[in-house]
Amino acid sequence: LPLWLKPPRSLQGLAFLGVGSRRPAVAAMPISRNQQNKKKANRKPLTKDGDKQAEDKAEARLDAARKARAQEHKTAGNEAFAASKWLEAIEHFTEAIEEDPSDQVFFSNRSAANLKLLRTADAVDDAEQCVRLAPEWAKGHSRLGAALWADRQLKEAVAAFDAGLRLDPESEAMQTSRKQVLEEIEKAPPPVEEEEKAEAPAPPSLHEREPVIGIDLGTTYSAVAVWDTALGGVRILADDSGNRTVPSYVAWGDDGERLIGHRAKAQATRAPKRTLFDVKRIIGSHSYEPAVQEEIRRLPFDIKKVEDDKLAIEVVTAEGQEPRRFAPEEISAMVLGKMKEIAEKDLGREVKKAVVTVPAYFNDAQRKATQAAGAIAGLEVLRIINEPTAAALGYGLDQKSGGQDCGHVLVFDLGGGTFDVSVLTIEGGIVEVKATGGDTHLGGEDFDNCLCDWLCAELKKKGFTIDDKVKVKAKRAAENAKRALSSNEAVEVEIGEIVGGEDGVLPVARAAFEKLCQPLFSRTLDTVKAVLKDGKLQPGDVDDIVLVGG
């Protein structure tokens, strides 16, 4: 997929530094009802032994092919494990399990990789499945003992080592581990009496601590996540409709009701003057900046210059009322408030603290404005974290660096409305920004605008009048066409989608669209070259590239 359609990953790195969710221990492969019915419909009595033999041979070939693919994934997983790439190893072992869930070795190896990442519960689950598949395999019991030991289930760990030693009494590794676990049990402090417990209350557990949410405040879409102690990783929260991303749109209905998210975006074509979006592009900025002046000309709602060259968005919030002015921070606060509301509904408690992402090149004024938006929304913003750093953590690159090995990672983040490139140095799990650059006025929206301008120009040639409502409809049609061109060489835009009651189509080829957007592509590559130069790096010095989209 093109960059502007790739899913955001930066959210998973927010503040929590999580390493992903738990996987099920067994890859279930049920046969669908349609497949069952099809088998029944095609079932015929066998009249020759040869028919049965042919079926058996075909099934055997299929099983052999799947087992061969599973072994390939296992080999790749072992290589990743040897290179200390634990997350990559887990991915390969999981692929092997999906191909052949009957091989205990795959579960054993994934348990070992999970243990390296301190995912002790996952390691125990995999080791238990390994033992269920091969109860006579001593190594499986050894693996289970190690996982239980790390999970602090010490008595159960001893029992697992005992079971393994009954199968392999000469195993020095299991003997040593069993001895060490017994020593830990002996050194453990005696249980505290109930009366003493009442006198000294225990510190709050992770479940009881005040939650801190992570918010990806995007130009076009926003999302919210929280560290889930049960999953042992980051969980992105969904709204009432099950959507894990919410459009960064704020609007007012005819009756003055304030709308945020999907409902606000849905009324953009009907009430463009009362539907606000792309506010992140002007937050913390001044009216005299050339990029801001371009945004004022482009956006369909009214943006006014106020005191100290600051900006205010003017909107009539209800029919017959006087226009109201809102600072960009206030509009962003409404989106942040929506994220807060989603989190509180999911967690069942009040949320007061958050970590928010911003582009790495945001200046001090833009960062302070974002923090002010959080305060207006009733959130204490504990930290503003750079989006490339969050993306690297979300992709687990801090886990892939392999001990003390140093690596240079280039994060190419082309979001919905902003673009930035950062070179990160990762050493010993520590992520440091070496160089960064970008453009607060370059993103997926600009690709939409290129195609939107072309559609409007073509309609104008055909004699149609282009007003604000036509422009908004053309923008929506352009976005839909852009998405369709990701999987098609050409698409047709119905003129009736833009100008009501009119027939005809406007054909758009992928090659023509790419030609329209060539200046935008060039701007991104120029930024990459500049960032590498600032970081005193050559292209060959980059060890990994992360493509992030919005």
| Domains, the chain | 49-194 (1.25.40.10), 212-384 (3.30.420.40), 400-550 (3.30.420.40)
Whole-number pLDDT of residue 397: 60
Q: What is the pLDDT of residues 315-340, one digit of tens each?
A: 998 887 889 999 999 999 999 999 99
Whole-number pLDDT of residue 2: 42
Confidence of residue 472 (pLDDT cuts 50, 70, 90): confident
Whole-number pLDDT of residue 24: 35
Percent of the chain with pLDDT over 90: 46
Whole-number pLDDT of residue 36: 39
- pLDDT of 41 over the 50 cut: no
CA neighbor of 417 nearest in space, from 235, 242, 249: 249
Q: Is 253 helix (H, G, I), strand (E, B) or coil?
A: coil
Whole-number pLDDT of residue 400: 55
**Structure tokens belonging to residue 407:** 């690596």
Residue the block writes with tokens 């054909």: 507
Active site residues: 216, 280, 387, 413
- In what order do the strands lie in the sheet containing 302-305? 302-305, 311-315, 324-326
Q: Is 29 helix (H, G, I), strand (E, B) or coil?
A: coil
Confidence of residue 209 (pLDDT cuts 50, 70, 90): confident
Lowest mean pLDDT among 241-250, 387-396, 420-429, 488-497: 387-396
**Residue 284 and residue 369 in contact, taking contact as beta carbons nearer than 8 Å:** yes
Q: What is the pLDDT of residues 475-484, one digit of tens each?
A: 989 999 998 9
Angle formed at CA 497 by CA 496 and CA 502, multiple of 5 degrees: 10
Which whole number is the average pLDDT over 102-107? 93
Whole-number pLDDT of residue 530: 92
- pLDDT of 450 over the 60 cut: yes
Is the pTM higher than 0.75? no
Q: What is the pLDDT of residues 265-293, one digit of tens each?
A: 988 888 889 999 999 989 999 999 998 99
Residues with Cβ within 8 Å of 88's Cβ and at least 6 positions away in sequence, in order, are 77, 80, 400
Distance CA 183, CA 65 (A): 48
Whole-number pLDDT of residue 204: 54
- pLDDT of 150 over the 70 cut: yes
Q: What is the pLDDT of residues 386-431, one digit of tens each?
A: 887 787 777 666 555 444 455 888 999 898 888 888 898 877 767 7
Q: Is 231 helix (H, G, I), strand (E, B) or coil?
A: coil
Beta-bridge mates of residue 226? 213, 235
